[in-house]
Amino acid sequence: MPQYLIKRIGQAVFTLFCVLTFAFVLGRATGKPAGLLLPDSATPAEVDALNGALGFNEPLHVQYLTFLANVLRGDFGTSYRQRESALALIAERLPATFELAFWSFLLGLLLAVLAATAIQLTGSRTLRSLFIWGGSLRHSVPDFFFALLAGLLFSVALGMLPSLGRTSPASLVLPVLTIATGQFVLYVRLIDSALSDQAGQDYVRTAFSKGQSRARVLFSHMLPNSVLPVLTMAGLNLGSLLGGTVVVEAVFAWPGLGQVLTEAVSQRDFPIVQAGLLVVALIFVTVNLAVDLIAAKIDPRVSLA
Amino acid sequence: MPMSHARSPFRRALPVLSVGLASALMLTGCAGGFESTSGSSAEAGTGTGGKIVAALPTDPTSMNPVKTGSLVVLSVFFNTFDQLTKITADGSLEPKLATKWTPNADLTTWDFTIREGVTFTNGEPLTADDVVFSFTRILEDPTSENFGYLSSLASVEKVDEVTVRFNMKAPFSAFPRNTSLISIVPDQAYAAMGPEAFAAAPVGSGPFKFEKIQRGVAYDLVRNDSYWGEPAKLDAVSLVPVASDESRVNGVLSGSLDVAQISPAQVEPVKGSGAANVQSELSNGVVFLGVNSKTGILADAKIRRAIGMAIDKKAIVGTVLSGLGEPATQMLAPAVEGFVAGLSDGGYNPDEAKKLLAEAGYNGESIDFEYALDGRIPLSGEVAQAIQGYLTTAGIKVNLVGADQATHTLKVRNRQMKGIYLNTWAPSTVDGDLPLTDFYEKAGNNNYAQDPRTAELAVKQRGVEGKDRLSVFDELLGLSNEQGYYIPLYVPANNFAVDTKLDWTQRADGLYDFSTTGLKK
């Protein structure tokens, strides 16, 4: 186990190093940013001076080594525009993103579990088609479009919910609904097929032959055994949700990580982009590791060696 | 294998899962916490003046006026800080913190008399020292976004308790207009707090003061009851960054927002909804084609003129922009000081264009036409395609190249354009000096032509005032049209969706000044 952990952490560090290098190289390939930071009236000399002050007139390898050395010291630099610690600016947005990600994830998963168990309990093919078709239909509508429609219906037409911002718990409803309904079908399919797999297993037949009720067999035996495949998929999804939900954040003006990252990319605010990508990668790596550990805990057949 | 509940894998994982879930919820819970100061729509609150929520197109970078001066942040600073002068909604110059300003004979120094009895919201009196401090801090910091606005300024000094002298590097008649963009900060508080702490809790002297800053969420302002001037009518203003056009429209229609800038394409739907008013005013900007007049066939003035005459600007404004704007005849908008009434750029004349092309011996050479896909010019893609259409009709071969706004801006800044390109210039000073410096002086970003005569005239207008200055603009803008150094296209309108109860005067630059805004009875 400790050996396994050390190996995984080593892999994680390498992944993060690659992410940082990518962020650095791709960022530098788009040019020096000072032209975007100064007003139109700035002269080329002023632009050049600012590029110099930001370190962009150094040779590329010097910039890269300085960058890595600073990162090792935990210093991601200062945002070119906000002039504050890039890492602090990213950290400031994490709560909003986490909030949106967790509630969306929970709601999506909960709805899917309810739907899948309902299918199994009733054994109704119609119900299965209904959930899968309905979910697929929702999934096939891009999130931004669904979000706009939801906003038009619930905010503009009905006036029930705020159309943007993060000002009250009601602000959460539309963005969470958008993400959760979009993910619903992915989980339904997984859980349903896992449950269907289990249904043919010997132990299930045995349980039934002992005279256990359908509900009892489903909840005590089948559902726990279906957790494993769902867990992996859910972990990946959670990781990507935690990395910021750019589109939904944009539509609902949700002040999360996605918003600050897209803004930073379009402004070539490299310290924020680099710090942001590292945080996103870190979240992803951590969630994946956690999923593996939980999987091993649940199922002794999963070996961590 | 017997099924034992104690060994059920689910039971075993339960502690792990629940601890994970609980800690996740705690994370969002601790750090979350909703703030309910903003979000309500135009309504009479506990005070009498009411409270409004206004959308900002992007999240302002910082609340430190020494460091930042971008357009979006000016929409906050105009309400919370004082500047020496003020550009009114119609573009004229008015006293604000300064009561009067006088130049010396050759316009190389300006003496500003500072209003007495003004205090910052922390109680510190506003004196000549604060003015000197605010300007000097910018001059000392080339990374300040305001540095470019003060490129004409050599130094600032205090003459006496109420007089500040600005020493120019060269004669500059329009300097008082540039001071309308520079916010005055309290020197003692700023020095004591330092830039970061000041940005987190800024202290100004404007009609509103900061109540709460939640970056990316809302900038909540309340009326400054000890304001030296006419007190604001509104009790509170919340400025909320909303980047997406669609979300801004939905925000106003649903009552989450009271005022927000919208795109020309959204004007009709908002009007049709009846839920909000639309206010459109001609802006202070010109959308134009920049021309790399040094390379290839574009080095020929006849080709450049032909491009201008081949484009039906009136039709573009009428159809693509739904009539929300007007064709431009020169490189300044009518609202801007220096605009020359009656100047013509030849208008739409496809026959003349074809004749010029033939005279120049144009032989179907392809011209690159670069534009930004989104960003500063609303509907830029549609506009670019319309232009391409007109040029193709005239027999000019155009190679349309789109890029994102940042890439486009950097190309402009590095003078890397190869053919023609779509660009815009809207001077926040509502004076011709800033754009014409950029268009015609040697160091200008858009100046490919490098004509020594235009450079000379652009310098000359700074050394003269009034009528003499206008005649220099006349010659300069006329020469530019004749040579086709630039092709002015149109002056767009700024369009806002506005709550029906709101009584708000729109500025030409589209920035917010809520000092006289109120709710209708």
Mean pLDDT split into 10-residue runs, chain A, 305 residues = 83 90 87 80 80 86 90 87 86 90 93 92 90 93 90 88 84 92 91 87 86 84 83 84 82 88 87 91 88 82 67
Q: Phi-psi bin for A130: left (phi > 0), alpha (psi -120 to 50), beta?
A: alpha
Q: Is the dihedral of CA A159, A165, A169, A173 positive or negative?
A: positive
Count of alpha carbons within 13 angstroms of residue B273, beta-carbon side: 21
Closest by CA position to B81, among listed B190, B216, B169, B197: B190
What is the DSSP-derived secondary structure letter of residue A157?
I
Residues 105-144 of A with CB under 8 A from B: none
What is the DSSP-derived secondary structure letter of residue B397?
E
Q: Are residues B106 and B197 in the same domain?
A: yes
| A81 has a chain B CB within 8 A of its CB | yes
- For residue B97 the two structure tokens come to 């913190």
Best A28, A30, A40 residue to mutate vs chain B (most B CBs within 10 Å): A40
Q: How buried is residue A69: exposed, middle or buried, by Cβ count under 10 Å (0-12/13-18/19+)?
A: exposed
What amino acid occupies position B405?
Answer: Q
CB B257 within 8 A of CB B242: yes
Give the closest of B24, B30, B247 to A251, CB-based. Answer: B247
| B220 has a chain A CB within 8 A of its CB | no
Instruction: Report the complex ipTM.
Output: 0.79
Give the C-alpha separation, B237 to B221, whole Å: 5
Give the C-alpha separation, B127 to B159, whole Å: 12
Strand partners, B289: B422, B487
For B493, phi and psi rounded to 5 degrees? -90, 150
Taking the CA of residue B85 and the nearest CA in chain A, the distance in Å comes to 20
Taking the CA of residue A284 and the nearest CA in chain B, the distance in Å comes to 15
Best A164, A202, A205, A298 residue to mutate vs chain B (most B CBs within 10 Å): A164
In a domain, B511, yes or no: yes
In a domain, B429, yes or no: yes
pLDDT value of residue B43: 52
Strand partners, A85: A78
In a domain, B447, yes or no: yes
Give the C-alpha separation, B177 to B427, whole Å: 11
Minimal Cα distance from B436: which residue of A? A41
In a domain, B450, yes or no: yes
Contact flag A167-B35 (C-beta cutoff 8 Å)? yes
Q: Are residues B474 and B455 in the same domain?
A: yes
pLDDT value of residue B39: 43
pLDDT value of residue B426: 92
CB A280 within 8 A of CB A243: yes
pLDDT value of residue B456: 95
**SS (HEC) of B171-192:** CCCCHHHHHHHCECCCHHHHHH
pLDDT value of residue B47: 58
Give the C-alpha separation, B183 to B192, whole Å: 18
Q: Are residues B329 and B418 in the same domain?
A: yes
Contact flag A224-B414 (C-beta cutoff 8 Å)? no
Question: Which CATH number fits the domain that encloses residue B94?
Answer: 3.40.190.10
- Chain-centroid distance of CA A50 in Å reads 35
For residue A94, list chain B residues with Cβ-Cβ distance below 8 A.
31
Give the closest of B5, B256, B406 to A164, CB-based. Answer: B256
Q: Which residues contact A45 (CB under 8 A, 6 or more apart)?
A: B443
| B125 has a chain A CB within 8 A of its CB | no
Contact flag B148-A42 (C-beta cutoff 8 Å)? yes
Give the C-alpha separation, B271 to B279, whole Å: 10
Contact flag B13-A294 (C-beta cutoff 8 Å)? yes
Q: Are residues B318 and B270 in the same domain?
A: no
Give B7-56 pLDDT, tens digit per residue: 444 444 444 445 444 454 444 444 444 444 444 445 544 457 899 999 99
| B443 has a chain A CB within 8 A of its CB | yes
What amino acid occupies position A223?
Answer: L
Give the C-alpha separation, A250 to A93, whole Å: 14
Domain enclosing residue B358, as ranges: 286-493
Q: Are residues B464 and B503 in the same domain?
A: no
**What is the third-level CATH fold of A94-256?**
MetI-like fold (1.10.3720)
Give the closest of A44, A171, A266 to B406, CB-based. Answer: A266
What is the DSSP-derived secondary structure letter of residue A42?
-
Minimal Cα distance from A226: which residue of B? B10
Minimal Cα distance from A27: which residue of B? B407
Tell me the C-alpha to C-alpha distance, in Å, between residue B351 and each of B309, B355, B357. 9, 6, 10
Low-confidence spans in chain B with pLDDT less than 70? 1-47
Taking the CA of residue B246 and the nearest CA in chain A, the distance in Å comes to 8
pLDDT value of residue B10: 47
Q: Which residue has the tokens 């800080």?
A: B81
Q: Are residues B113 and B257 in the same domain?
A: yes
Give the C-alpha separation, B482 to B478, whole Å: 6
In a domain, B10, yes or no: no
CB A234 within 8 A of CB A105: yes
| A267 has a chain B CB within 8 A of its CB | yes
B16 in helix, strand or coil? Answer: helix
Tell me the C-alpha to C-alpha distance, in Å, between residue B241 and each of A163, B72, B283. 13, 9, 21
pLDDT value of residue A49: 84
| A268 has a chain B CB within 8 A of its CB | yes
Give the closest of A36, A162, A163 to B409, CB-based. Answer: A36
Q: Are residues B487 and B505 in the same domain?
A: no
Give the closest of A37, A39, A163 to B250, CB-based. Answer: A163
pLDDT value of residue B13: 47
| B344 has a chain A CB within 8 A of its CB | no
Minimal Cα distance from A155: which residue of B? B254
Q: Are residues B225 and B300 in the same domain?
A: no
For B87, phi and psi rounded to 5 degrees? -95, 125
Q: Which residue has the tokens 């707090």?
A: B193
Strand partners, B497: B260, B278
Give B122-160 pLDDT, tens digit per residue: 999 999 999 999 999 999 987 788 888 898 999 999 999
- For residue B430 the two structure tokens come to 């509502």
pTM: 0.85
For residue A79, list chain B residues with Cβ-Cβ distance below 8 A.
61
Give the closest of A40, A53, A84 to B438, CB-based. Answer: A40
| A302 has a chain B CB within 8 A of its CB | no
| B405 has a chain A CB within 8 A of its CB | yes
Helix and strand counts by DSSP (H, E) for chain A = 14, 0
| A16 has a chain B CB within 8 A of its CB | no
Contact flag B247-A253 (C-beta cutoff 8 Å)? yes
B261 in helix, strand or coil? Answer: strand
Contact flag B435-A40 (C-beta cutoff 8 Å)? yes
Give the closest of B145, B242, B254 to A253, CB-based. Answer: B242
Q: To the nearest 5 percent, what fractions of chain B are helix, strand and coil?
A: 35, 25, 40
Residues 142-161 of B with CB under 8 A from A: 142-143, 145-149, 151
Q: Are strands B486-499 and B259-262 parallel, antiparallel or unpaired?
A: antiparallel
B161 in helix, strand or coil? Answer: coil
| B62 has a chain A CB within 8 A of its CB | yes
Q: Are residues B369 and B251 in the same domain?
A: no
Q: How buried is residue B258: exposed, middle or buried, by Cβ count under 10 Å (0-12/13-18/19+)?
A: buried
- Segment (H or E) for B453: helix B452-460
CB B366 within 8 A of CB B381: no
What is the domain count for chain B?
Answer: 2
Contact flag B250-A35 (C-beta cutoff 8 Å)? no
What is the DSSP-derived secondary structure letter of residue B232?
P
Strand partners, B168: B153
Tell me the C-alpha to C-alpha distance, in Å, between residue B20 and each of A220, A294, B12, B25, B472. 22, 10, 14, 9, 72
In a domain, B130, yes or no: yes
Question: Which CATH number fits the domain that encloses residue B473?
Answer: 3.10.105.10
Give the C-alpha separation, B17 to A106, whole Å: 13
| Beta-strand runs (E) in chain A | none
Minimal Cα distance from A217: which residue of B? B3
- Chain-centroid distance of CA B458 in Å reads 22
Best B256, B258, B411, B416 residue to mutate vs chain A (most A CBs within 10 Å): B256
Q: Are residues B267 and B121 in the same domain?
A: yes
pLDDT value of residue B460: 94
Q: Are residues B305 and B343 in the same domain?
A: yes
Q: Are residues B73 and B188 in the same domain?
A: yes
Hey, how many other C-beta atoms are within 10 angstroms of the C-beta on B116? Answer: 12
Best B14, B53, B61 residue to mutate vs chain A (most A CBs within 10 Å): B61
In a domain, B35, yes or no: no
| B59 has a chain A CB within 8 A of its CB | yes
Contact flag B244-A32 (C-beta cutoff 8 Å)? no
CB B349 within 8 A of CB B305: no
Taking the CA of residue A228 and the nearest CA in chain B, the distance in Å comes to 10
| B17 has a chain A CB within 8 A of its CB | yes
Give the C-alpha separation, B195 to B66, whole Å: 8
In a domain, B396, yes or no: yes
Contact flag B147-A38 (C-beta cutoff 8 Å)? yes
Residues 171-210 of A with CB under 8 A from B: 171, 203, 207
Contact flag A164-B10 (C-beta cutoff 8 Å)? no
